[in-house]
Amino acid sequence: MPWTKIYSDKTEFEEAAKASSVPLRGITYAEALREAQAQLLRDDERVFIFGEGIDDPGGVFGSTLGLHTEFGDERVFDTPLAENALTGIAAGAATAGMRPILVHMRIDFMPLTMDPILNHAAKWHYMFGGAVHVPMVIRSIVGRGWGSAAQHSQNIHALFAHIPGLKVVMPATPYDAKGLLMSASADGNPVIFIEHRWLYGHTGHVPEEPYTVPLGKGVVRREGSDVTIVAISHMAAEATKAARSLAEEGIECEIIDPRTLRPLDTELIISSVKKTGRLVVADTGWQYGGIGAEITTRLVEDAFGALKAPVERINIPDCPTPASPVLEAAYYPGVTEIENAVKRVIAG
């Protein structure tokens, strides 16, 4: 299936498209996000998009480029630097029947919005006995590289996944970026939609027509028999590269991309581990209290007997991000760390 494939670069996609028996349309992750938002704006008058810098010449790294010109500044508009107030506006508008998409260019500033997210948007459906829905989407971007340091490159998705009433999405491919954003807008619940900046230039197959990808359903990116790698967000691309290298050594890895962290597709993960007997979890965030801990615990609770070796977790170091390029390069795990973790679980 072409939509499950993660391509190393645009050239690899173009070669796959030439060899394919069915037409493959290739656009980038950023272009897929823009296309999804344009189609949502076109098809649903309740949708509006707002946030800091979305009408800038760069258009949030290309993901909102030109939307304000096409749909007008009443439906796509820039905002002041007031994250808490803006999130409260989004929650109120959603409760009143609109379907806002609020764009936070960096997730680091979302802790400023925790009151309207945690105490309001996440709870109103429950507190009003199901009579109130809060169909809002908060797009936020995980930074990385270029010396972004401790306050502009954090991976705090586990913080939001901890909260009942929220759904948390982390798409790893252009196909999923579009399909999951379409689903998030239509869901009826508050969705935290987290995008990794390093994925924005990735090219993949994306149909031109509107489509949805179901929330709470993971996907097998690569089939294998020896080790299961649950790879989150950008780590799915890193795991794909590692799996190709390991295959040359006779180690076949199965890659599971959860796509949605809450709800989590536990059934898919456990099914894979029952087949391989080994698990590596590759996450973009910290280890303590992280998504890897949740995945590992669910496996231990429901399928401990399937494990042939201890679980390996790959995370960033448990400290703030350094600004130095040398330290930054050492801080972020990737292909090498995944390969080493797989070899350790194979060794038992």
**The CATH number of the domain where 51 resides is what?**
3.40.50.970
Q: For residues 205 and 228, give the distance between their C-alpha atoms in angstroms, rounded to a whole number.
A: 25
**Distances from the Cα of 192 to the Cα of 120, 179, 243, angstroms:** 14, 15, 29
| Co-location of 226 and 308 in the same domain | yes
| Co-location of 70 and 187 in the same domain | yes
Q: For residues 222 and 244, give the distance between their C-alpha atoms in angstroms, rounded to a whole number.
A: 10
- The last residue of a domain, from among 160, 175, 205: 205
The predicted pLDDT at position 325 comes to 87
Note whether residue 210 is domain-resident.
no
The predicted pLDDT at position 2 comes to 78
Q: For the chain, how many structural domains are there in total?
A: 2
| Co-location of 15 and 164 in the same domain | yes
Q: Are 175 and 206 in contact (CB under 8 A)?
A: yes
The predicted pLDDT at position 348 comes to 81
Note whether residue 253 is domain-resident.
yes
| Co-location of 181 and 79 in the same domain | yes
Q: For residues 196 and 231, give the distance between their C-alpha atoms in angstroms, rounded to a whole number.
A: 13
Question: What's at 283, amino acid-wise?
Answer: D
The predicted pLDDT at position 63 comes to 97
| Co-location of 61 and 97 in the same domain | yes
| Co-location of 238 and 201 in the same domain | no
Per-residue pLDDT band at 183 (split at 50, 70, 90): very high
Q: For residues 3 and 204, give the distance between their C-alpha atoms in angstroms, rounded to a whole number.
A: 7
Mind telling me the catalytic residues?
83, 152
- The last residue of a domain, from among 145, 180, 205: 205
Q: For residues 308 and 304, give the distance between their C-alpha atoms in angstroms, rounded to a whole number.
A: 9
| Co-location of 48 and 193 in the same domain | yes
Note whether residue 212 is domain-resident.
no
pLDDT tens-digit series, residues 72-111 = 999 999 999 999 999 999 999 999 999 999 999 899 999 9
pLDDT reading at 146 higher than 80: no
pLDDT reading at 302 higher than 90: yes
| Co-location of 41 and 142 in the same domain | yes
The predicted pLDDT at position 329 comes to 87
| Co-location of 193 and 224 in the same domain | no
Average pLDDT, the chain: 95
Domain that holds residue 289: 219-347
| Co-location of 179 and 247 in the same domain | no
Q: For residues 256 and 279, give the distance between their C-alpha atoms in angstroms, rounded to a whole number.
A: 10
| Co-location of 118 and 255 in the same domain | no
pLDDT reading at 147 higher than 90: no
Q: How many CB atoms lie within 10 A of CB 21?
A: 5
- The last residue of a domain, from among 205, 228, 259: 205
